[in-house]
Amino acid sequence: MRRYRGRVRVMPRAGLLDPQGHAVEQALGALGFTGVGRVRVGRTLEIALEADSEQEVRERLREMCERLVANPVTEDFTIDAVEAGP
């Protein structure tokens, strides 16, 4: 068993309402930022876990996203990084 750190990103699915993103868009405009288009707000999780291989880490991260971390109806997830280390 080795220690790994994985990073997963969960974003609202394209085409669905994203009220948080809309709020940030409005706030950026109010602060004077120009030329700002669509803003989308999602979550990123860093998860430390023990496993035998990077492949096992990716499989378990995917299962965590499917079962808990991401809403399968409204969100898409991406595994952005897997690194060995504490």
With vertex at residue 72, the alpha carbon angle to CA 66 and CA 74, rounded to the nearest 5 degrees, is 145
Cα distances from 81 to residues 5, 40, 46, 61, in angstroms, run 8, 21, 9, 11
Interface residue with a second copy, options 46, 59, 71, 83 (CB under 8 A) = 46
Q: Is 70 near a second copy (CB under 8 A)?
A: no
At closest approach, how far in Å is the CB of 7 from a second copy? 9
Q: Is 60 near a second copy (CB under 8 A)?
A: yes
Q: Is 19 near a second copy (CB under 8 A)?
A: no
Closest CA to 21 of 5, 3, 42: 42
> Given the rule CB under 8 A, which residues bind a second copy?
1, 3, 9, 11, 21, 24, 27-28, 31, 33, 35-51, 60, 63-64, 67-69, 80
